[in-house]
Amino acid sequence: MNPARLTIAGFALAAVLGTGLLMLPLASQDGQGTDVVTALFTAVSALCVTGLVVVDTAGFWSGFGQVVVLVLIQVGGFGIMALASLLGVLVARRLGLRGQLAAAAETKTLSPGDVRLILVGVARTSLVVEAVTAAVLAVRFATGYGEPVPRALWLGVFHSISAFNNAGFALWSDSLTRFSTDPWICLPITAAVVVGGLGFPVLFELRRHLRAPSRWSLHTKLTVLGSAVLMVVGPVVVCVLEWRNPATLGSLSVPGRLLAGFFQGVMPRTAGFNSVDIAQMNSATWLGSDVLMFIGGGSAGTAGGIKVTTFAVLLLLIVSEARGDEDATVFGRTLPRNLHRQALSVALLGVGAVVTSAMVLVATTRFPLDQVLYEVVSAFATVGLSTGITAQLPPGGQLLLVALMFLGRTGTITLATALALRSRPRLYQLPAERTIVG
């Protein structure tokens, strides 16, 4: 079993176990148990750090059920293979070559020799960011909203893990809309989302060479620059399109509008928290969010989408073609040809999955295209934002979203590799011939 198949199998097994636990009577507040579709949807959404829900997380699941959801979020964010490899390091103090390759496939480290240090660093980074965010949130919940200390700690831990892993699960039925103007809630969650979405290789490199950008790798430069640009574009789009909408930003004060607009502009990349009512947004805002969700965050992080670097490579290819350059170059480096093919494959497979799924849902449900497209992109990009139609979809539609979430988390290229029966290296090259393009 190659690393790609092992990754798929690990996620599938975790999804089955999570579904079984959520179906237990102990997991629901009424003690009656849960049907398989609801349990499967919630388990996959948590494991794939998406955040789409068909039942209210706080109102439907018991304390045990919420703990199961939280564990699935943490396991999914860290990566099944990365977690298994880390346990192997801690217990056996050694990793076999197969274990290193499996962990490298999940964490997208650059060489198998770095896997051991990467895995330990991933664990430390996760715990530190989650602990700091949880502490800030817990203090705010206790002092600003009068929550008892145990409840404040639970709220802080749950939402910090959900934020760092870009999951978007919240313990209120309206997500974070009640805190839309509270910077002590919105900004720590935003910071955790951004840090988790950059990707662990980028975080490690920034820690080593934060003040020496010239020493950054090309991957880090593209991720940081692309993320910075999109973090400006997203809030600007939301603020411009929703500024006068009384159902979203229009009813808030100017500072409140700016905070809510910033928060909601960052969340599509790719955490499912919302501080305004998504269902009341303009169709143009939904479309802009679709683009942001599809691009997603950094590689090897907890964000989804086709990734910022994939989008950057495609953009550079367009620029180089428009200039008539033979090679695509950036920051004094030439992008290899196999990288071109990989970026095109990831993007086109993503487009195909989104378009096909949207066509199926439009044909089988009563919802308009803009809402269906928003839901489908959110599922594929493992974002979790919703216009409110997820719970109203028929079981077949919900299972389709389950498949999209699984595909989005494991990656289109990884899934395609895992499904391939065998590779066939070609020992010869056929004559080249051009075709007309465009």
Alpha-carbon distances, residue 6 vs 3, 47, 74, 414 (angstroms): 5, 16, 19, 10
The pLDDT tens digits for 416-435 are 555 454 455 667 788 888 88
Residue 396: φ, ψ to 5°:
-60, -40
- Beta bridge mates, 26: none
Residue 245 has pLDDT above 70, yes or no: yes
Q: What does the pLDDT look like over 122-141, one tens digit per residue?
A: 888 889 999 999 999 999 99
Q: What is the pLDDT of residues 170-192, one digit of tens each?
A: 999 999 999 999 999 999 999 99
% the chain with pLDDT above 70: 87
Q: H or E segment at 329? A: strand 329-330
- What integer pLDDT is reported at residue 29 of this predicted model? 93
What are the Cα distances from residue 231, in Å, to 197, 292, 348, 387?
A: 12, 10, 24, 22
Q: Token digits for 228?
A: 């910075």
CA-wise closest residue to 408 among 297, 252, 324, 287: 297
Query: Would you say residue 70 has pLDDT above 90?
Result: yes
CA pair distance 46, 161, nearest whole angstrom: 11
DSSP state of 229: H
**For the segment 85-94, what is each residue's pLDDT rounded down to a tens digit?**
555 554 444 4
- β-sheet bridge partners, residue 333: 330
Tens digit of each residue's pLDDT (9 = 90 or more) over 384-408:
999 999 999 999 999 999 999 999 8
209-228 average pLDDT score: 89
3-state SS class at 330: strand
CB distance 94 to 119 below 8 Å:
no
H-state helical runs in 267-411: 283-295, 308-323, 337-364, 369-380, 395-410
pLDDT (0 to 100) of residue 48: 92
Residue 438's pLDDT is what?
73
Whether residue 270 is preceded by a cis peptide bond, meaning omega within 30 degrees of 0, is yes
| 329-330 and 333-334 strand pairing | antiparallel
Residue 114 has a pLDDT of 59
Q: What is the pLDDT of residue 100?
A: 56
pLDDT tens-digit series, residues 249-290: 999 999 999 999 999 999 998 888 999 999 999 999 999 999
